[in-house]
């Protein structure tokens, strides 16, 4: 079965998705320059992400969608199990947002440019000035009413377990008084762990937890980090 799946990937899956990626990035760039970046920076890539999941036979289930409201700005924080975290959230969260993503992703031909012009936020920790620029980009998006999605671990897990969280996303939430919404991703590690070259079919579950409000009952950055991490872990198998 796996051999047939690999043959399918190389003969059908990859050629179609390479074309789809080129078209998605190109159309996003064009529409952004025409002044439609706010909507096209989400809705066009959303279709692309769904196509990735569908064509690799990855089923995505979303729980807790009732915990968020359409049109409201949030800081979404999620654990980072693997590459398919991006496709699952992009394709199935159903809430307009911008990513806070690694600066290195800007080097991807065409895709990096499309992310930049459509308002995705590149995280650059190379210098204090670069960090300030990153935070200013994030503040600009949040001030316009846009939600952001952050992987507070910073990078994909090597083991599937949840690592240490960083403070950046929580500082933004406190500064703007935005609710922090934890998202648990379960199953993406089995689909495509960090060490894998190719994906495997499977099932990913996104659990959207209740928002945590900064300032409510004295919530500060450290408390937001602890409570959101606890919420994410609550929908995962126990970590050894």
- The reported pLDDT for the residue numbered 56 is 95
In whole angstroms, what is the distance from residue 153 CA to residue 165 CA? 5
pLDDT digits (tens, 9 = 90+) for 101-154: 888 888 888 999 999 999 898 887 777 777 788 888 888 888 888 999 999 998
Report the Cα 215 to chain-centroid distance in Å: 25
pTM: 0.91
Residue 207 near residue 67 (C-beta atoms within 8 A): no
- The reported pLDDT for the residue numbered 181 is 97
Helices (H), 35-106: 37-55, 84-92
* Residue 176 per-residue DSSP state: H
Could you give the angle at which helices 168-176 and 128-143 cross, rounded to 10 degrees?
Answer: 40
* Residue 161 per-residue DSSP state: S
In whole angstroms, what is the distance from residue 122 CA to residue 67 CA? 28
* Residue ranges for the chain with pLDDT beneath 70: 216-219, 240
In whole angstroms, what is the distance from residue 130 CA to residue 136 CA? 10
In whole angstroms, what is the distance from residue 115 CA to residue 97 CA? 12
Helices (H), 56-183: 84-92, 111-117, 128-143, 168-176
């Amino acid at each position: 079965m796996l051999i047939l799946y690999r043959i399918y990937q190389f003969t059908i899956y990859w050629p179609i998705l390479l074309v789809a990626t080129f078209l998605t990035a190109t159309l996003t760039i064009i529409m952004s320059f025409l002044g439609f970046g706010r909507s096209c920076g989400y809705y066009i890539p959303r279709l692309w992400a769904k196509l990735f999941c569908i064509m690799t036979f990855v089923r995505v289930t979303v729980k807790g969608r009732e915990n968020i409201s359409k049109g409201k700005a949030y800081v979404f924080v999620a654990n980072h199990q693997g590459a398919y975290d991006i496709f699952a959230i992009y394709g199935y969260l159903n809430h307009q947002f911008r990513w806070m993503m690694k600066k290195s992703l800007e080097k991807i031909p065409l895709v990096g440019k499309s992310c930049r012009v459509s308002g995705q936020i590149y995280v650059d920790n190379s210098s204090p000035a670069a960090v300030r620029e990153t935070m200013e980009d994030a503040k600009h998006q949040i001030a316009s009413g846009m939600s952001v999605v952050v992987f507070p671990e910073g990078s994909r897990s090597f083991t599937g377990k949840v690592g240490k969280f960083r403070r950046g996303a929580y500082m933004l939430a406190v500064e703007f008084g935005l609710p922090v919404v934890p998202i648990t991703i379960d199953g993406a590690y089995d689909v495509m762990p960090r060490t894998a070259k190719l994906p495997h079919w499977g099932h990913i579950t996104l659990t959207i937890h209740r928002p945590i409000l900064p300032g409510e009952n004295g919530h500060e950055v450290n408390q937001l980090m602890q409570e959101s991490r606890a919420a994410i872990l609550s929908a995962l198998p126990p970590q050894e």
